[in-house]
Amino acid sequence: MNRATLTIVLMAVAAPLFGASSSVYSRRLEDPQATYLTADRFPVHADGKGDDSEAIQQAIDSVLESTGQGILFIPSGQYRLTRTLFVWPGIRLIGYGPTRPVVVLADDTPGFQPGPAYMVFFAGFRPGTLSPRSPNGHPPPTPGTVPPSLVPDANPGTFYSAISNIDFEIGKGDAGAVAVRFHSAQHCFLAHMDFRLGSALAALYDVGNESEDLRFYGGQYGIITGRPSPGWQFTLIDSSFDGQRYAAIK
């Protein structure tokens, strides 16, 4: 019988509520097979004002189209979103530079008032592509993407996707916002991330596999979750919660 378990080890971690976090990867990591979110390749602003949704999605898509799976390196900066980003299976977003890159949802961003409304969505596969990691064929889409889409949720066959060394910041008037939907499976992780949640519903909605060194500030909840994907436990270590209005974990 398949059982999914949840293990949590929390540590008090002192950190400022505001300001850029120190980066775990302070220098650019050179990888000839990786993709880099730089202005010479993608129409990115990285100033917290211009909309970077399309540029980041183009970069994620280019990883899928060029190597099938791999790494998108994101340099220090502020990256404003106005819609959901989709992380396809086997793709990892890794920040680098003197400070962590910050993914920003500005005050009163349309579509993020009713919830859950996801900033980043770990997907089961990209529509229009074959997916050997989707054992049940083409499952129905998961509500909560902005705008609504037909992209299916991650599932027990979604492996290797991850985010590391990237922070999230959510403004006022975004009461339905969720930073990451993370219903993934083996070898997927979130690591070295601060979530400054402001008005948000939660940092994470559904969880999978492993997360470490996460710090949750504000919001209604830190994490909202049911069971992990069948057969895969969820472990959270070296993480802290501060200032949630209702509960750290629901």
pLDDT of residue 228: 85
Alpha-carbon distance 168 to 214, whole Å? Answer: 11
Global pTM reads 0.90
Q: Which two tokens stand for residue 188?
A: 């997927």
| Domains of the chain by start residue, with CATH | 6-11+32-131+139-249 (2.160.20.10)
pLDDT of residue 42: 97
Q: What is the pLDDT along the chain (250 residues), one digit of tens a residue?
A: 445 555 555 544 333 344 678 899 999 999 999 999 999 999 999 999 999 999 999 999 999 999 999 999 999 999 999 999 999 999 999 999 999 999 999 999 999 999 899 999 999 888 876 554 445 555 677 899 999 998 999 988 899 999 999 999 999 999 999 999 999 988 999 999 999 999 999 999 999 999 999 999 999 999 999 988 777 789 999 999 999 999 999 9
Alpha-carbon distance 218 to 125, whole Å? Answer: 32
Alpha-carbon distance 174 to 112, whole Å? Answer: 5
Q: Give every CB contact of residue 186 below 8 A, 6+ residues apart in sequence.
A: 159, 160, 209, 232
